[in-house]
């Protein structure tokens, strides 16, 4: 069944996830009415010889010069100079999510864009047509100018686009999908590019992925503690309550529910390593930080990022900086820090699990026949590399400001870079969780105790059903993905039922 998105209602991350495939985008009379009103007001303002950035002027640092008098030429003037992006194409799923965000923003009627622009974007999202958008070129200040410029050009039949995964000249891609080249005037062109829609989409998708891995980490920690026979008193509500952090209390409550029924083996030390004993504090702090990012994404998805904005009722054209992606940049940097520390935790837990001096006497590397077999040795090496990669990229982008554009953009947030980086690293965190899940499945094969908790037993049963034990050795790349998916799928039902 094709998913439907209503541009007259709220936009959520689920809509962005659905947009990776063709979706039905509904505009409705209210959307068309407010867009038409703003457009009519724009025409009035131009008729009154008011200065309107991008319609009567040049762009950026050249705002003091007159633009082209013909508005179709002004569209070319807007988009041609932005054709400077470099690097590999972005994931089409990210581009489609970004264009849905942009369509929603324009549909609010504050940008003065023509209704037919949103109609064309809705039609595009109903097909597999996806503009080819280069990764590099945006500083996230005056919106995502260069990447959204490439998208706008593809909608006009210029540049390149994907159809069913095949990269084609954009004009040919339009023909294949039955779409018409999008006519634009100067205001339409600027409205398409002068916003943070790529940054917002990438951040929303990254947050969704990290949220799932964060919940998986809670479940996997519980299964680890249960298999090792740890004392679950590190989750005691009296202890946690005295810590007085909302996220820690929430995470600890979830973990207690999952570990319900677990009793200590009596063979472990009085106090476990921090990767177990302090897990609710670490994952709970992550929860508090993720709630901040939740708020940023919600605000971005509900906001209009453009300049200028038009208010027909007030007879006002207001110029300002709603294209400045600082909130998303801070949010993306926070997300990168969170996923780096959650990744550290998961990697350390796997290291503990494969070490016979700390795992309760299980064989080294969880090998079924040490020496003749090597178990999780390759997987553990790869997790070390993944953590190093995540750490290297965790340096905040939001404070790396560099002046550009003749000092018109004298401070910039680098939100696009921050959000795309967070999305990249979120995928690596997911692989770390899959690696730990595979290790827990293998631990059961080589002698770890069966979980006593219902939640742990349910998760292990799913892992055992989905993946064969490593006996003998074999390549495990796909099994890591499979285990990550199992943990994601099962954690939702376990947590929601807790």
89's enclosing H/E stretch is: strand 86-89
Residue 65: active-site member: no
Given the DSSP bridges, would you call strands 130-131 and 24-26 parallel, antiparallel or unpaired?
unpaired
174's enclosing H/E stretch is: helix 170-177
Any long-range contacts for 308-312 (C-beta under 8 Å, 24+ apart)?
308/52, 308/53, 308/54, 309/110, 309/111, 310/38, 310/41, 310/42, 310/45, 310/110, 310/111, 310/112, 311/110, 312/37, 312/38, 312/40, 312/41
Residue 58 and residue 169 in contact, taking contact as beta carbons nearer than 8 Å: no
Quote the CA–CA distance of 214 and 120 in Å, as a whole number: 38
Instruction: Tell the burial category of 416 from Cβ atoms under 10 Å away from its Cβ (0-12, 13-18, 19+).
Output: buried
Tokens representing 47 are 């008729």
Residue 128 and residue 162 in contact, taking contact as beta carbons nearer than 8 Å: yes
Residue 483 and residue 434 in contact, taking contact as beta carbons nearer than 8 Å: yes
Residue 119 and residue 25 in contact, taking contact as beta carbons nearer than 8 Å: no
Secondary structure class of 262 (helix, strand, coil): coil
Tokens representing 100 are 């849905």
Given the residues 53, 65, 162, 292, the one annotated as active site: 53
Quote the CA–CA distance of 139 and 351 in Å, as a whole number: 39
3-class SS letters over 29-88: HHHHHHHHHHHHHHHHHHHCCCCCCCCCECCHHHCCCECCCCHHHHHHHHHHCCCCCEEE
Catalytic positions: 53
């Amino acid at each position: 069944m094709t998913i439907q998105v209503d541009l007259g209602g709220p936009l959520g991350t689920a809509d962005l996830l659905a947009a990776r495939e063709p979706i039905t985008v509904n505009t409705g009379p209210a959307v068309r009415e407010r867009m038409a009103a703003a457009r009519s007001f724009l025409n009035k303002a131009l008729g009154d010889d008011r200065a309107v950035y991008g319609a009567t002027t040049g762009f950026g640092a050249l705002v003091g010069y007159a633009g082209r008098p013909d508005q179709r030429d002004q569209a070319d003037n807007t988009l041609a100079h932005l054709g400077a992006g470099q690097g590999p194409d972005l994931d089409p799923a990210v581009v489609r999510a970004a264009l849905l965000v942009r369509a929603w923003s324009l549909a609010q009627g504050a940008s003065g864009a023509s209704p037919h622009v949103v109609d064309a974007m809705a039609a595009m999202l109903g097909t597999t047509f996806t503009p080819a958008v280069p990764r590099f070129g945006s500083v996230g200040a005056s919106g995502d100018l260069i990447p959204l410029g490439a998208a706008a050009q593809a909608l006009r039949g210029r540049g390149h686009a994907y159809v069913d995964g095949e990269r084609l000249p954009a004009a040919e891609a339009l023909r294949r999908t039955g779409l018409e080249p999008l006519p634009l005037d100067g205001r339409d062109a600027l409205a398409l590019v002068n916003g943070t829609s790529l940054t917002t989409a990438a951040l929303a998708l990254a947050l969704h992925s990290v949220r799932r891995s964060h919940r998986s980490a809670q479940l996997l920690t519980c299964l680890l503690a249960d298999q090792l026979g740890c004392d679950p008193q590190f989750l005691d509500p009296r202890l946690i309550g005295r810590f007085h952090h909302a996220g820690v209390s929430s995470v600890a409550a979830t973990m207690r529910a999952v570990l319900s029924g677990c009793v200590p083996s009596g063979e472990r030390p009085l106090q476990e390593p921090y990767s177990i004993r302090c897990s609710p504090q670490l994952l709970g702090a992550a929860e508090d930080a993720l709630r901040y990012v939740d708020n940023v994404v919600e605000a971005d998805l509900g906001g209009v990022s453009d300049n200028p904005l038009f208010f027909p009722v007030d007879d006002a054209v207001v110029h300002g900086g709603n294209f400045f992606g600082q909130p998303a940049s801070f949010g993306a940097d926070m997300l990168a820090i969170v996923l780096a520390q959650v990744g550290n935790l998961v990697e350390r837990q796997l290291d503990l699990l494969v070490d016979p001096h700390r795992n309760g006497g299980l064989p080294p590397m969880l090998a079924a026949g040490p020496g003749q077999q090597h178990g999780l040795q390759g997987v553990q090496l790869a997790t070390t590399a993944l953590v190093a990669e995540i750490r290297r990229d965790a340096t905040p982008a939001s404070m790396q400001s560099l002046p550009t554009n003749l000092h018109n953009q004298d401070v910039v947030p680098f939100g696009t870079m921050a959000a795309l980086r967070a999305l990249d690293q979120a995928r690596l965190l997911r692989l770390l969780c899959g690696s730990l899940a595979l290790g827990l499945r293998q631990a059961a094969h080589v002698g770890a105790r069966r979980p006593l908790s219902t939640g742990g037993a349910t998760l292990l049963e799913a892992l055992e059903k989905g993946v064969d034990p490593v006996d003998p050795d074999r390549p495990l790349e796909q099994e890591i993905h499979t285990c990550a998916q199992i943990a994601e799928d099962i954690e939702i039902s376990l947590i929601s039922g807790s």
